[in-house]
Structure 1
C-alpha cells in the first residue's frame, strides 16, 4: 500500500501510553516518542527479516527525529504506522505517523529514522541484504 507521499506502508502497531509517560504538563513527554518510534521500528525490522543481535551484519539507526502536532494524555493507545521512504545502497528511511485509537485519523506526531546496515566487526556500512531490499521494495 502506498500513501500520497510515495511512501510504502509496511507496518502498523499499537503501543499503550503508561501513566509514567506523562510530564508535568499532563501529556506524554516528548522524549517518550523516541521509545514509541523504537518499538515500532524493532517490530518493523523483525517483520522484514532483519537480524538484530549486534554480532554480524545488522541494522543501526543513525538519525531520528519527531515533530509534535498535538498533545496526548493518559489513558491512550498510540497507533504507529511505519512507512519506507528513500532506499539507498546501504540504508533506507523510515517515516512514522502517530495517532491514537480514539482519534485514528488525526496525527499527533510524525517521525523519521534512517536505518543503515552495518558490519559490526568492521564498523562500516554494507549494502542492504538482497532479501531486506526485496521486502521493503514490495
Structure 2
C-alpha cells in the first residue's frame, strides 16, 4: 500500500476515560483528522468537481493502550480504489515511540454528487495522486 499522507495529533488530558487511557472514540477522531486534512489538499477548484465524501464503513483495531499527554502520528495509506470509492488505511503510533504500532484502522470513502445525492466517480484531482507511482 502506498502512503498518501501523514499528520500528527496531540493527545489531551480530556481525551482520557475514567480508567485513565485514551477513549476509543478519540482513535476515530484522529483518523478523521488525517482524512479531512488529506481531502483539504485537493480543493474543488482544481477540477471544478463539487463531489463530496461520505464514509460508508470505518473500523479500528486497538493494539496498545494510549495515555495523554503525548502526540500520535497518523499515516494514511491508499487501499482499494473503486469507481467512486477509496478505502483509506490508517496506522497510529506515538511520536515518542514510533516503532510501536498502537492502532490500525480503515475507512471506506464514497464520493457523492451534490446534485443527485448518489455515488459519482472519484474526482480527477484525487485520482491523479492515487495513480502516481
Gaps of 5+ in 1: 1-6
Gaps of 5+ in 2: 45-49
| Residue of structure 2 equivalent to 1:31 | 25
User: Structure 2 length normalisation: TM-score?
Assistant: 0.91
**Of 91, 111, 122, which aligns to 2:85?**
91
| Residue of structure 1 equivalent to 2:75 | 81
Q: CA deviation at 1:121?
A: 2.6
- The separation in 2 between residues aligned to 1:137 and 1:99, in whole angstroms, is 26
Contact kept in structure 2, 1:50 and 1:58, CA below 8 Å: no
Q: CA deviation at 1:120?
A: 2.2
Q: CA deviation at 1:109?
A: 0.3
State the SS of the aligned residue for 2:24. coil
Identify the structure with the greater helix proportion: 2
Q: CA deviation at 1:39?
A: 0.4
Q: CA RMSD in A?
A: 1.1
Number of residue pairs the alignment of both structures matches: 127
- 4+ aligned runs moved over 6 Å, structure 1: none
User: Structure 1 length normalisation: TM-score?
Assistant: 0.88
Q: CA deviation at 1:99?
A: 0.4
| Residue of structure 1 equivalent to 2:38 | 44
